[in-house]
Amino acid sequence: MKSIYCPHCGLILHNRIIGDEGLVPYCDHCQRPIFDHSPVCVLTMVINEFNEVALLKQDYVTKQHLVFVAGYYKPGESAEDTVRREVFEEIGQTVCGLTFIESFYHERLDTLFLCYISHVQKAPFKLSSEVDDAQWYSLPIDESLLNPLGVAYRIYQRYKTL
């Protein structure tokens, strides 16, 4: 995402050379560079001590397939904070360990995805209003449950190589 105006004071930005970064939009009033940026989204497989993964039904995302827990990073958080918060908000599980899987840039969504495994002790689901249903599935799962073009499918393929 490119800014034309300063998000802090609203003045128009001018390009300025910032060290090795080269030309960067700069606010002369705030005296700071305004780097191009993309939203950051975490995506996580939530796996319990019985080697089951939580799959969510979220009709606003897709009615045909199931998905993993995902959500947007909020300023002030670490990526791991975002994962712990989203897992608790969406399905009411408490994360006791995290394993990083991979990051990738999603061009169509202009979003940086940071992907993790969240390890939890199996507890009853408490669903947010954004989640229509959630169930535990033994690993390995039937891959036809996931959208082959979606990010969950991509991360599941990566997970299998770990």
Residues 25-64, mask of contacts with Zn ion (x by CB under 5 A): --x-xx----------------------------------
- Binding window for Zn ion (CB under 5 A); candidates: 2-10, 51-59, 113-121, 122-130: 2-10
Q: Is 14 in the site for Zn ion (CB under 5 A)?
A: no
Does residue 24 interact with Zn ion by CB under 5 A? no
In three-state secondary structure terms, 49 is coil
The reply to whether 8 sits near Zn ion by the rule CB under 5 A is: yes
Residue 52 has a CB neighbour count (10 Å cut-off) of 17
Instruction: Pinpoint the alpha helices (H) of the chain.
Output: 79-91, 151-160
Where b means 16+ CB within 10 Å and e means fewer, 61-82 reads beeebbbbbbbebeeeeebeeb
What residue ranges bind Zn ion (CB under 5 A)? 6, 8-9, 27, 29-30
